[in-house]
Amino acid sequence: MGEAKEHSRIILSSLRAAYFLAALLLLVILWEAAATLYQKPYLPHVSEIGEKLWRELSAGRLTEDLQLSLRRIALSLLISSLTGMSLGLLAARIGYGNRLLRPIILATYPMPHITLIPILLWLLGVEGSKIAVISLITFYPIALSTMEWALRTPREYEELVETMGGNSWHKVIYVVIPSILPGVLTGLRIAVSTAFAVVFVAESFVLTGGVGAYIEESWQRFDYAGVYAGMITLSAAGMLSYAAIWLLEKSYRERVGY
Amino acid sequence: MRLELRGITFSYKDLLIFERFSASFNGGGLNVVLGPNGVGKSTLLKIMAGVLRPKEGEVLLNGSPPARGEISYLPQDNELLPWLTVRENVELPLRIRGVNSAESRRRAEEAMKLTGVLRLADRYPKRLSGGERKRAAIARAFVAEAKALLLDEPTASVDPAGKEDIWGLLKEAAKERITVAVTHDVAEALLVGDVIYVLAGRPARIAEVTEGGERAWGRLRSIVESYYRR
């Protein structure tokens, strides 16, 4: 019974992978058809993009830029996760937090934060402003999902810990944090995808390396294959990070059924 | 060993559940509180466990207010934390008290062996049956060395064979601590209870109905029938 279940699970995930590859192949075919049909410099052939990507990766230029972008994204996500989780928890769990912090988070969420770049640049310098803008934008999905999940923490579990003699700290450690973890991971998953989209903007306003800067420089040189090579690099890295967090989230949910 | 409620008044929204309500439960035998759904059985347990605070009145354990951790409470559902394994759940009261990990592990294993869940120690509650979950939660109560054990419908999600096991365990547990189980199942209450109470009415009143033989059954039946008709 268990073996049959495992067998069908393997078949299902292979099928999903096959569909994913088929979708990717379809995209490549459509692109190539458009490139052949229109013959425009901004629509290079797939082979040109592939060659450019291979050359830049093996020469190390794009790899270095990717490392720099990943470092910036990781640091920003660390900042946004810590602040997002803490403020999300405060907003959901503390009376004043709920009355004051929650409306502030909700009201500032739809603001176009990217417009703050010049001020952040002035306040925090070049590198600091890049980290700050990515952190600021990725803060919201994490804070909001933490807040929503912390509001739903089952009271019964907290009562259990209370009857064992647990204090507020024990409740946070043994109930609140594990119960919001799936929500935090969902928020983080959305934040990661956003981070990869925002890193381009952050890295393209003052060019100090990173895939965003690489794309911007390619634009300035009319090197369209370079632009697409940079975009593919960023989106592949984004997709892999997204998948890694999704797997983590899925395994946690499957294990604890929560 | 005695767990008492004195002059408890408790309302939920506009409903007056208890008004100057008093009751007492002794150790040495299994106390079973019988009552229809919605009468306040769970509320009664939660007040005794200190989870709900009454507007008036007090709960006394052997004459003084119970300290946190002295009373173990098992809700009907969600009796184990789903993100901890059975072992971690059983060890939790000790971890909260700051007992070192080797000692917690040893005591948890002893309790799990006693309740028959040692082989399930590394499983998460999601992978347990209703009866296994209950037995793990009872192991946790044993580990906590609580003076009183309160259980809300302990056999509600348990198959018939499992029910017998759980009641057997509770009868054993009741020898050493005050044990109060609430249920709406009249037959089960009669079968296992050493002391049987009926809780009914609004505000709720409690009556002990345990006496010997046929008379007890007749009296219990008439009380239960009159309360259930309300």
A173-182: pLDDT as tens digits: 999 999 999 9
Over residues A208-233, the mean pLDDT reads 95
Cα separation, B15 vs B38, whole angstroms: 11
Do B60 and B165 fall into the same domain? yes
Predicted pLDDT at B205: 82
Residue A119: the pLDDT is 94
Centre a 10 Å sphere on the Cβ of residue A210 and count the other Cβ atoms it contains.
Answer: 27
Antiparallel, parallel or unpaired: β B178-183 and B148-152: parallel
Closest chain B residue to A160 measured between Cα atoms?
B73
Q: Are residues B62 and B168 in the same domain?
A: yes
Number of folded domains that form chain B: 2
Do B189 and B223 have their domain in common?
yes
Are B160 and B201 found together in one domain?
yes
* pLDDT for residue B78: 82
Q: Residue with structure tokens 């075919």? A: A29
**Cα(A209)–Cα(B94) distance, rounded to whole angstroms?**
53
Shortest distance, CA B68 to any CA of chain A (angstroms): 4
Q: Do A164 and B84 touch (CB under 8 A)?
A: no
Instruction: Inspect the interface and report whether the beta carbons of B81 and A175 lie closer than 8 Å.
Output: yes
Question: Cβ(B3)–Cβ(B24) under 8 Å?
Answer: yes
Measure the CA–CA gap between A87 and A105, rounded to whole angstroms. Answer: 9
Domain end residue (candidates: B145, B166, B201): B145
Chain A residue numbers with beta carbons less than 8 Å from the beta carbon of B69 are 163-165
Are residues B87 and B162 both part of a single domain? Answer: no
Q: Are strands B56-61 and B2-12 parallel, antiparallel or unpaired?
A: antiparallel
User: Using CB atoms, which residue from B77, B82, B144 is nearest to A256?
Assistant: B82
Verify whether the Cβ–Cβ distance A165 to B72 is below 8 Å.
no
Chain A contact present for B15, CB below 8 A: no
Cite the beta strand spans of chain B per DSSP E: 2-12, 15-26, 30-34, 56-61, 71-74, 148-152, 178-183, 195-200, 205-208
| Chain B interface includes A173 (CB < 8 A) | no
Q: Which residue, among A213, A181, A198, has the nearest Cα to A135 in the 3D structure?
A: A198
* pLDDT interval class at A53 (50, 70, 90): very high
| Residue, of A87 and B230, whose pLDDT is higher | A87
Q: What confidence category does residue A210 fall into, taking pLDDT thresholds of 50, 70 and 90? A: very high
Q: What is the pLDDT of residue B172?
A: 87
Inform me whether the C-beta atom of residue B83 falls under 8 Å from chain A C-beta atoms: yes
**Chain A CA closest to residue B49:** A163
- Range(s) of the domain holding residue B128: 79-145
B207: CATH: 3.40.50.300
Provide the CB-side half-sphere exposure for A75 (13 A, CA). Answer: 14
Distance in angstroms (rounded) separating the CA atoms of residues A106 and A140: 9
Tell which of B98, B114, B145 closes a domain.
B145
Choose, out of A156, A158, A160, the residue to mutate when testing the contact with B (most B CBs < 10 Å): A160
Q: In the listed set B130, B145, B160, which residue is the last one of a domain according to the structure?
A: B145
Task: Out of A160, A165, A256, name the one closest to residue B126 (CB).
Answer: A256
**Best residue in A5, A149, A164 for a mutation probing chain B (most B CBs within 10 Å):** A164
Tokens read off for A248: 């983590």
Q: Taking CB atoms and an 8 Å limit, are B124 and A154 in contact across chains? A: no
- Same domain membership, residue B137 and residue B62: no
* Residue A23: count of CB within 10 angstroms of its CB: 10
Dist. CA A208–CA B48, nearest whole Å? 65
State residue A206's pLDDT score: 87
pLDDT for position B221: 65
The pLDDT assigned to A36 comes to 94
pLDDT of residue A98: 80
Q: Are residues B165 and B226 in the same domain?
A: yes
User: Cβ–Cβ of A161/B92 closer than 8 Å?
Assistant: yes
Mean pLDDT of chain B: 87
Which amino acid is it at B139?
A: A
For residues B45 and B52, what is the distance between their CA atoms, to the nearest angstrom?
Answer: 9
Tell me if chain B has a CB within 8 Å of the CB of A147: no
Q: What is the pLDDT of residue A256?
A: 86
Q: Do residues B86 and B16 share a domain?
A: no
Cβ distance B228 to B220 under 8 Å? Answer: no
Contacts B68 to A, Cβ<8 Å = 162-166
With beta carbons less than 8 A apart as the criterion, state whether A92 and A98 touch.
yes
Do B196 and B134 share a structural domain?
A: no
Q: Does B195 touch chain A (CB under 8 A)?
A: no
- Give every CB contact of residue B23 below 8 A, 6+ residues apart in sequence: B4, B5, B44, B197, B206
Please tell me the distance from the alpha carbon of residue B76 to that of residue B157, in angstroms, as a whole number. 9
Residue B73, chain A, CB below 8 Å: the answer is: yes
B167 and B223 co-located in one domain? yes
**For the CA atoms of chain B, what is the radius of gyration?**
18
Q: What is the mean pLDDT of residues A191-214?
A: 93
Q: Do B160 and B230 fall within a single domain?
A: yes
B173 and B134 in one domain? no
- How many interchain CB pairs under 8 A, A with B? 68
- Residues with pLDDT less than 50, chain B: 212-213
Start-to-end Cα distance in chain B: 34
At residue A213 the predicted structure's pLDDT band, cuts being 50, 70 and 90, is: very high
* B124–A256 C-beta distance less than 8 A: yes
Q: What is the pLDDT of residue B36?
A: 82
Structure tokens at A36: 């052949």
pLDDT of A138 reads: 97
Using CA atoms, how far apart are residues B204 and B186, in angstroms rounded to an integer?
18
Inform me whether the pLDDT recorded for A1 exceeds 60. no
Q: Tell whether A163 lies on the interface with B, counting CB pairs under 8 A.
A: yes
